[in-house]
Structure 1
Amino acid sequence: MPSGSPGAATGAIVWRLATKWRVAVDRALAPLDLTHAQYVLLAALHGVEQGGRQPSQRELADDTGLEALYVSKLARTLEAKGLIARRRDPHDTRAVRLTLTGKGQESVRSAMRTVQELLERLLAPFGGRDSARTAALVRELTELLDAPLDPPTP
C-alpha cells in the first residue's frame, strides 16, 4: 500500500475493495450460473420492474453505470439463459426493451438473497447493513461517485 498522505492510498483502496467485492459476488453467484455483471443487470431490471416500468437497454445502462454495449452483450447472454426477454420498442425501433421471465424472477430473487448475505458479512465491521456507520459510509461513497472526474471544459 502506498505511504504518505492519507489520500495517497485512496485509489488503491477503492480499487482493491471493488475487486474484492466483484470476486466475492462472482464466487457466491457461480452456483446460480451468474456473474457479478449479470447480477447487476438482473437486479437493476428487477428494481425497475417493481416500479412498474419496462426499461430499455440504454436506460439500464444509465441506471447501472455500465456501458450500453456491455449491457447489450449481457442482455443477449441472459436472454440465451432464459432469464430475460428482449423486444424492440414499438414506438422507437432503435430501443430494445427488457423484461424478466418467470425463470429470471426466480433467479434474481435467489441471487439477491445470496448477495444480501454477502453484503451483511462485508459490512459486519460497521455494525451491519442498517447501522449508522454503514449509512455514513454510503453517504461518503455516494459523494465520491457524484464527484466529476472529467477535466473542466474551458
Structure 2
Amino acid sequence: MSKGSPGPTPGFLVWRLANKWRVAVDRALAPLGLTHAQYAVVASLYGMARAGERPSQRRLADHTGMEALYVSKLARALETAGLIERTRDPRDPRAVQLTLTDGGRTVARQAVETVQELLQQLLEPLGGLDSARTRVFTDELTTLLDAPLAPSVPTDESTQGRTP
C-alpha cells in the first residue's frame, strides 16, 4: 500500500496550469474576438499554411488534440466571423479543407504575437521562453503527451470483487 503525498498531485497541478493558461489566453485574445480554442485553430492553420499545408478538419483535429466535432464547430464560427474558409477537398468529397482568409491571417499574426508575449511572461519563473529549464520542461510535457493511455475499463457491479 502506498501513501499519498500530502501536497497536490501532478494531475491536479497539470489541470490547474492548463486552466490558468486557458483563462490568460482567453483574456489576452478577447480584444481580437478569439477564445483560446479558436486561437488553437487559427494559429495552427497559420503555422500549417506557412509549411505549405492546407489541412482538413480531421487533420487539424489530430494536430490540436481536439475532438473533430469540436473543430468543426469552431471552424463554422470562424467562417461566420470571416476568418477562415471551409471548402470540400477535391480528392475526398467527404473531407473539408480549412484555410485562413486575408483577415484571418492578420488576426492570426496578431494573436500569435500576443500569445508569445503571454508565454514569455508565464515561463519567466523558469528563465523565460529560451531558457534551458523551459526546454527541459517542454521535453517533459512532450513525453507525457506522447505516452499512450490504456483505455479505461468500465466498472460493472456484477464483476466487482471477482478475479478473472
Same fold (TM over 0.5): yes
Could you report, residue by residue, the CA deviation over 1:9-65 in whole angstroms, capped at 9, with x for unpaired residues?
A: 111100000000000000000011000000000011111101111110000000000
| Aligned: 1:16 with 2:16 | yes
The equivalent of 2:65 in structure 1 is 65
The equivalent of 2:147 in structure 1 is 147
Structure 1 residue 151, shift from structure 2 partner? 3.8
| Aligned: 1:87 with 2:72 | no
Structure 1 residue 6, shift from structure 2 partner? 7.8
Alignment partners' CA distance in 1, 2:123 and 2:6: 22
Task: Using structure 1 for the length normalisation, give the TM-score.
Answer: 0.93
Equivalent residue runs for 1:51-130 within 5 Å: 51-130=51-130
Instruction: Supply the AA of the counterpart residue of 1:117.
Output: E
Unpaired stretches in structure 1, ≥5 consecutive residues: none
In the TM superposition, structure 1's runs of 4+ consecutive aligned residues that sit over 6 Å from their partners are none
Greater helix share, 1 or 2?
A: 1
Instruction: Supply the AA of the counterpart residue of 1:62.
Output: D
Alignment partners' CA distance in 1, 2:7 and 2:30: 35
Is the radius of gyration larger for structure 1 or structure 2? 2
Unpaired stretches in structure 2, ≥5 consecutive residues: 154-164
How many residue pairs are counted as aligned between the two chains?
Answer: 151
Alignment partners' CA distance in 2, 1:90 and 1:143: 37
Structure 1 residue 146, shift from structure 2 partner? 1.1
Q: In angstroms, what is the RMSD of aligned CA positions?
A: 1.8
Aligned residue for 2:9, secondary structure, equals helix
Aligned residue for 2:95, secondary structure, equals strand
Task: Using structure 2 for the length normalisation, give the TM-score.
Answer: 0.88
